Structures are given as structure tokens and as C-alpha cells.
Amino acid sequence: MSQPCAINNCKRASRTLCHCCNENLCRDHFNEHDDLLNSQLNPLTDEINALGDRLTAINIDKIKNNSRQKLDQWRIDCHKIIDRFYEEKCQELDRCVTESIDKQRKEIADVRSKMTKLIEKQETTKNDINSLTSAISNLEQKMNEIEHFRVHVDVHPLIIDDRLIQIGKSKVHEFGLMSLSSPYLTIERGRDSWNALASNDRFLLTHIDSKLCLIDENLSVVKQKEWNFSEITDMCWSSVLRRFIIIARNSVLLVDENTMLVEPVRQIEDEAWNSCRCSDKSLYLSRYAWDSSIFEYSLLPAIRFKKLWRTNDKLQNKRVDSIEYSHGTLALAINDQSSKAKFIELRSVETLSPLWSVPLDVTYNQKIVHCCLLNREGWLVADWSTSRLFHVTNEGKVKETSTYTSTPYNVNLFHSNVLAILTDVAINFHRV
């Protein structure tokens, strides 16, 4: 016995079973049902065609461009490291050969001097002749050795660890102060340590107790050097000079990450320097003074004074506490004594004209404010007088504020995913 059509109000008997819907339908309604299903293919076809068009329109070069620039810069930096290492070894080779030649030259000069004195005195003895003959014989033997001298150079192949560069899709992640994890590692420091941090792609530089310390990606102190200079007020990394720059209140110093050699920068006059930061062309310095001035020094071909920027009216008392460089802009942490306020402002490096300014909601005081760049997510600001952290976006908005568990004297983003927060007794490392 046939079943009735499943469509409401249809009195006809079903003629077929739609297996995809498991419904009994009459001939007319089956045709309508079939036509309806087929018609739904059209918009789906349009959608898949649109997605295909969008995929075709994607500029693959644009997607790769930023990452390719990082790879290109990495290659340039590595070539510089290899070239510098090669030059050091060439100089070492020159010294090795020169020392041998100079030693032989001195011995020949000594024998010649003795002979000259004997000739002048005309009192040569048999012992003198024997001594000179023996000395000349020794020199001749050494000369034969020098003429066949070869410097042994033991060269090992350069082994590239594939882990040096890891390529994969970036994860969508937003930095959040409220979700900041607990420190996963802490390095203790004494209260007499200076409150400065700086990092490059390999190391974090800081001052712990009486020593200048380099911390590697495993957060281990791998190099240290006794600090014999004055108070450190700030430090930064120069990718152009391949050196750390340290502001020691009245002087500017360069630190080699390989040798830990500290050299004063003679081209910069002694001032009460307060903060520093480098772009790819210049070094920017501010003084511990209420004039809000920025001193710009070019880095290549040599360090030399370029320009003094005055960023405020002479009647205003403002101090630049911290400087951060990012993509042609300078973020300045300002202490404004005139209006009793602290704020962050973004300025163009070309003109130092302000792009935006955002006040910090803190009780006014004259203590220094530090800030650091958060990749593409703006800036993190630490006001240690109130133990507060501020996340300021690229658009000049305070996204979040948070009170830190300890007093945050300074902050630094290390290896793009490790936030170092320096307190009075420790350096706390957070994963971000």
C-alpha cells in the first residue's frame, strides 16, 4: 500500500522515496524538491567562485615581503659577523708573522750593534770573534727557519643549526596585562644594581650587583664584567654599530657583546644624560634636565652630532624619561613638571612633530617612567612610583592598566615572547 505524500495538505499518494531526505513524495513534489536542491547549488557555486577569485587576487609577494626582509636582514647581519671574525683572524695571522720577523730583526740589530762598537774600539778579542760567529750562525739557522716558516691555520666548517630560523604561520595573539602569566623564571639582584635593561636578537644586557651581565635565550648569565664606571641611567642596542650603548650619567659607552670590552664614545660630550635609543641611522639622547631636548647623533660613517631637537616651549618644564624607536617614530615618556602630569607621546623621527599624546593616570611625582616596545601591539609603560603598568596602543590609547606585584623599575621585551620586568630585588621573566 502506497504512503501519502509527506508535504502538508497534499492529498496525492507518494510515488517515490527521496533517499537524501528519507521522505515519501508524490511526483510533483518530488520534482519541486529536486529542483529546489539543485537551485541551491547556484549560490554555493557563486560563493566558491568568489573565494577562488579572492585567493587568486592575494598578493603573495606582499605576504612574504615582511618576513623576507627579516631573512635578508638576518643574512646581512650574519655576513657582517663572519666578515668581522675573518678580519680578526687576519689580524691575528699578521701579528703571528710580524712577531717572528720583528724578533729576528731585533736580534740582527743587536749583533750589528755589537760589531759596530767593536769596530769603533779596535780592541777585538778572540772571544769576541767566536761570540759573533756563534751569534751569526744562530741567526742564519733562524733565518732558514723563517724562510720556510708556515703558519698553521686549523679551519673547521661553519655548521648552521636549522633551529636558528624557524618558519611557520604566526599565531593570532593579543598582549593582555590582565592575563599576564606569573614569572616562569626569576634572577635575583641586589638593591645596589642599576635599573637598566637592553636586548638584541641574542642577549639581554643588565647590571646585577657590581657586574654588567649578558643573559642568553636560556636566561642564563653567560658573560659578566665588573662595572667600574658611574651610575647607569639607560642602555640600548645599535644594530648598525653591533654594540650595546650605555649611558653612565655623564658619559656614553660602547659595549662589545663578544668581548665585553667597554669603550667611551669620545665624539659625545659629557652631559647629565638620562635616556638613549637607536634607529637604523641615529642615536637619540635626552638629558636629565627639564628642557625636553633630544640630541641626535648620526652613527655612520662615524658617530657625530647631527641636531638638537627642542620638543617644548621654553616656559614648560618637561623631562624625557624614556625613548623608544619603532618604524620611523619615537615614543617618548614625558614627565611634565609644569602641568604635574606624566604622559606618552609619539613623534616622527624626521621632524619630531607630535603624532599623538596620551596622559598616564598616576599621582604626579618626579620619578622616572620607563617604556618598551611590544612588537606591533604598542608600548608597555612602567611607573615604578605607583607600581603600575600601562599598555598604550599604536593609536595612542591606554588599552589596559595593571598593578604589578613588585615595584617595576624597567621593562624589556626579549626575543619577542619573553617580557623582562626589572624590580628592586629581581628580574622577572614572563611568557607573552
**Cell 606569573, located at residue:** 182
> Measured at the alpha carbon of residue 277, what is the angle toward residues 311 and 322, in degrees to the nearest 5?
60
Residues contacting 146, CB < 8 A, separation 6+: 100, 101, 104
Judged by DSSP in three states, 120 sits in: helix
Which has the closest alpha carbon to 198: 251, 254, 250? 254
- pLDDT value of residue 295: 94
Cell numbers for 130: 767566536
Alpha carbon of 163 to those of 156, 159, 167: distances in Å?
Answer: 20, 12, 10
- Mean pLDDT, consecutive 10-residue stretches, the chain (432 aa), reads 77 76 79 75 82 87 81 86 87 85 85 82 81 83 79 81 70 71 91 92 92 92 92 93 91 93 91 91 92 90 90 77 92 90 92 91 86 86 90 91 91 90 93 86
Residue 289 and residue 291: Cα distance in Å, rounded?
Answer: 6
Q: Whole-model pTM?
A: 0.66
Write down the domain spans for the chain: 16-57, 63-122+132-148, 185-431
Omega before 408 within 30 of 0, i.e. cis:
no
Instruction: Tell me the CB-side half-sphere exposure of residue 403, using CA atoms within 13 A.
Output: 4
- pLDDT value of residue 197: 95
| Cα 128 versus chain centre, distance | 68
Q: Are the CB atoms for 255 and 212 separated by under 8 Å?
A: yes
- pLDDT value of residue 313: 66
Residue 3 and residue 19: Cα distance in Å, rounded?
Answer: 15
Q: Are the CB atoms for 319 and 281 separated by under 8 Å?
A: no
Which has the closest alpha carbon to 325: 264, 245, 402? 245
| Cα 29 versus chain centre, distance | 70
Residue range 185-431 in CATH 1.20.1250.20 = no
- pLDDT value of residue 426: 93
Q: What is the 3-state secondary structure (H, E, C) of 195-225?
A: CCEEECCCCEEEEECCEEEEECCCCCEEEEE
Dihedral sign from CA coordinates of 95, 101, 107, 111:
negative
- pLDDT value of residue 255: 95
Residue 377 and residue 374: Cα distance in Å, rounded?
Answer: 5
Alpha carbon of 54 to those of 47, 48, 309, 371: distances in Å?
Answer: 10, 10, 47, 40
**Cell 617580557, located at residue:** 419
